A = this chain, B = another copy of it.
Amino acid sequence: MALALNKTKTAVPSDIEIAQQANMLPIEEIAAQLGLKEEDLELYGKYKAKISPGVWDRIKTRTDGKLILITAISPTPAGEGKSTVTVGLGQALNRIGKKAAVALREPSLGPSMGMKGGAAGGGYSQVLPMEDINLHFTGDLHAITTAHNAISAMIDNHIHRENELGIDPRQIVWKRVLDLNDRALRNIVVGLGGKAHGMPREDGFDITVASELMAILCLASDLEDLKNRIARIVVAYRFDGSPVTVADLGVEGAAALLLKDAIQPNLVQTLENTPAFIHGGPFANIAHGCNSLIATRHALKLSEYTVTEAGFGADLGAEKFLHIKSRSGELKPDVAVIVATVRALKMHGGVPKNDLTTPNLAALRQGMGNLERHLETMENFGLPKVVAINRFPTDTEEELEWIRQWCEERGTSVNLTEVWEKGGAGGEALAWEVVRLAESGKSRLQYLYDLDQPIRSKISAIAQNVYGAEGVDYTPKAEKQIREMESHGWGNLPICMAKTQYSLSDDPALLGRPEDFRIQVRELRPSIGAGFLVALTGNMLTMPGLPKKPAALGMDVDAEGRVFGLF
């Protein structure tokens, strides 16, 4: 939700000032907008709730509302404001008389303590209570951390005892997790200190949102499916190379028990009291980067319009939303909104970050290639689409007009949004266009690969039809892993590409719309519980580090409980 640059709009107070002055309604009143009663909620204070387990049985046969997918051009350091547009569009839809809800990911604490200082939209398009959402919220991430590490402890206990399963300590692929940025835990040795203290082996910690349990929580249809998926997780390999699952360890029940509350969707509200489901937040590279299927489904049954967001640009987030989440959950988005800014498009056209306020039509034209590629992808998927230009004060009329004409020539809808500065009122034009497209009934979702295609063929389909690559190369390691995966019977799972978000290619320096490039797949990892195979095109850090001056240094709470330093 990188919106640092929006803060230069000095007429608008800071995010935390806006959030702290907000007029929140009791969460029961927000739930009432969705037709839910107090007994349908598990309250977490006055402004947060989980939807009770019984609600789904009552609403599951209803017709779904419209599903609006918010995606974006390839992200740049200039910031696009995708979450802000998601929240703002939800608010705008309510303003024009549609019952709308937003469905977003829940933030991870680690990055908040490091770089970002919080994440919940921005300006007058935020979700509330912002402090709580950015701190412990309803404990979902803590539950995942605990369940994940409980499985780890069972693995190490198993090999410390008689190792009846024959687990090879060199081939344990289930690392530990914490919801913190902590580079010193990336590569560790555990089990030192002698015979009473376990079997020494190499290990490491990932950040909690990288846990396969997070991906599972976000793809499971219910508690039973959650448990069955956990049972299928591959945690290690035996000396003979055969996989060891959580079911082999016998702890899928305990892990599911630890997640029984976490799986229920969280309900909060936006600054304009639009219902907001904030639930689940898997990594957008080694996982699929969308909020939970359960939350999205609840929103679809309880509102006329559900506005949801996918991670990174359309080549990663939207592609995975469609191929993984939609396929698994039988979702059919009605409209795709592609968020862009003049600034970010100019960066894609080669302008350095400190030069973005200078009008530059040539760079804009050059950078448009990035948006164009993502628009083509949405067409390939069969989705009606609209471009949302998230307006900045430094944008010139000339630049905006140029974009308008460019889109018009291609028959693509385009709208300016000013939801950061004006809340829902700044997104009404976009909202009307979204409604027009959604009600046109023109969405014809089609996948770009079938599950029964060979693994390489599925990867090629994404690389060619989404990234615009010439082809795909594989390291010998990746080739070997593909053969192994097919021999284990995992060949028919969808692919989760782990690729830099900054470029359509696998080289983060190639901005805009790169041509004549190939993708190199270096490694594959099975996420059998989540139900996909991760194809890595580079080194993906799954445990971030802290910067020299972490955001935590500016955080504080005073004697009266007032919060400082989040944002």
C-alpha gap A557/B556 in the complex (Å): 39
Contact with A555, one of B257, B550, B556 (Cβ below 8 angstroms)? B257
Chain B residues near A160 (CB-CB < 8 A):
183-184, 545
Cβ contact within 8 Å between B154 and A183? no
Tell me if A109 counts as interface (CB < 8 A to partner B): yes
Looking at the assembled complex, report how far the CB atom of A265 sits from the nearest CB atom of chain B, in whole angstroms: 15
A17-45 interface bits toward B, Cβ cutoff 8 Å, 1 = contact, 0 = none: 00000000000000000000000001111
Chain B residues near A254 (CB-CB < 8 A):
113, 552-553, 555-556, 565
Which residues A28-71 have CB closer than 8 A to chain B? 42-46, 53
C-alpha gap A42/B227 in the complex (Å): 31
Cβ contact within 8 Å between A559 and B223? yes
C-alpha gap A14/B152 in the complex (Å): 30
Q: Which residue of B lies closest to A156 (CB)?
A: B184
**Interface-located stretch among A76-84, A91-99, A134-142:** A134-142
Identical copies in the complex: 2
* Given A186-B198, A257-B563, A180:B153 Cβ within 8 A: yes
* Given A156-B184, A254-B553, A45:B42 Cβ within 8 A: yes
A152-191 interface bits toward B, Cβ cutoff 8 Å, 1 = contact, 0 = none: 1110110011000000000000000011111111111111
Which residues A185-239 have CB closer than 8 A to chain B? 185-193, 196-199, 203, 222-224, 227
Cβ contact within 8 Å between A556 and B257? yes
Cβ contact within 8 Å between B193 and A157? no
Chain B residues near A478 (CB-CB < 8 A):
none
Tell me if A329 counts as interface (CB < 8 A to partner B): no
Q: Which residue of B lies closest to A162 (CB)?
A: B548
C-alpha gap A153/B114 in the complex (Å): 10
Cβ contact within 8 Å between B150 and A180? yes
Tell me if A564 counts as interface (CB < 8 A to partner B): yes
Tell me if A116 counts as interface (CB < 8 A to partner B): no
C-alpha gap A257/B146 in the complex (Å): 21
Looking at the assembled complex, report how far the CB atom of A130 sits from the nearest CB atom of chain B, in whole angstroms: 13
Cβ contact within 8 Å between A550 and B154? yes
In this complex, the member of A184, A189, A258, A260 whose beta carbon has the largest number of chain B beta carbons within 10 angstroms is A184
C-alpha gap A548/B257 in the complex (Å): 21
Cβ contact within 8 Å between A182 and B153? yes
Contact with A223, one of B156, B185, B561 (Cβ below 8 angstroms)? B561
Chain B residues near A193 (CB-CB < 8 A):
186-187
Cβ contact within 8 Å between B146 and A222? no
Looking at the assembled complex, report how far the CB atom of A488 sits from the nearest CB atom of chain B, in whole angstroms: 26
Tell me if A251 counts as interface (CB < 8 A to partner B): yes
Chain B residues near A243 (CB-CB < 8 A):
none
C-alpha gap A555/B157 in the complex (Å): 17
A257-279 interface bits toward B, Cβ cutoff 8 Å, 1 = contact, 0 = none: 11011000000000000000000
C-alpha gap A254/B563 in the complex (Å): 10
C-alpha gap A297/B92 in the complex (Å): 49
Looking at the assembled complex, report how far the CB atom of A162 sits from the nearest CB atom of chain B, in whole angstroms: 8
C-alpha gap A260/B559 in the complex (Å): 10
Looking at the assembled complex, report how far the CB atom of A222 sits from the nearest CB atom of chain B, in whole angstroms: 7
Tell me if A143 counts as interface (CB < 8 A to partner B): yes
Tell me if A429 counts as interface (CB < 8 A to partner B): no
Tell me if A253 counts as interface (CB < 8 A to partner B): yes
Cβ contact within 8 Å between B150 and A113? yes
Cβ contact within 8 Å between A146 and B251? no
C-alpha gap A154/B550 in the complex (Å): 8
Chain B residues near A186 (CB-CB < 8 A):
193, 197-198
| 16 examples of A-B residue contacts, CB within 8 angstroms | A136-B142, A136-B143, A139-B139, A142-B142, A149-B180, A156-B184, A184-B203, A185-B190, A188-B190, A189-B189, A189-B192, A224-B559, A227-B557, A250-B553, A253-B556, A257-B555
Counting from the closest, the 6 A-B pairs by CB-CB distance are: A253-B556, A187-B193, A184-B198, A142-B142, A156-B184, A254-B555
Apart from A188-B192, A224-B558, A254-B552, 11 more pairs, CB < 8 Å: A42-B45, A43-B44, A113-B254, A135-B258, A149-B182, A156-B182, A183-B196, A187-B192, A188-B203, A256-B556, A260-B561
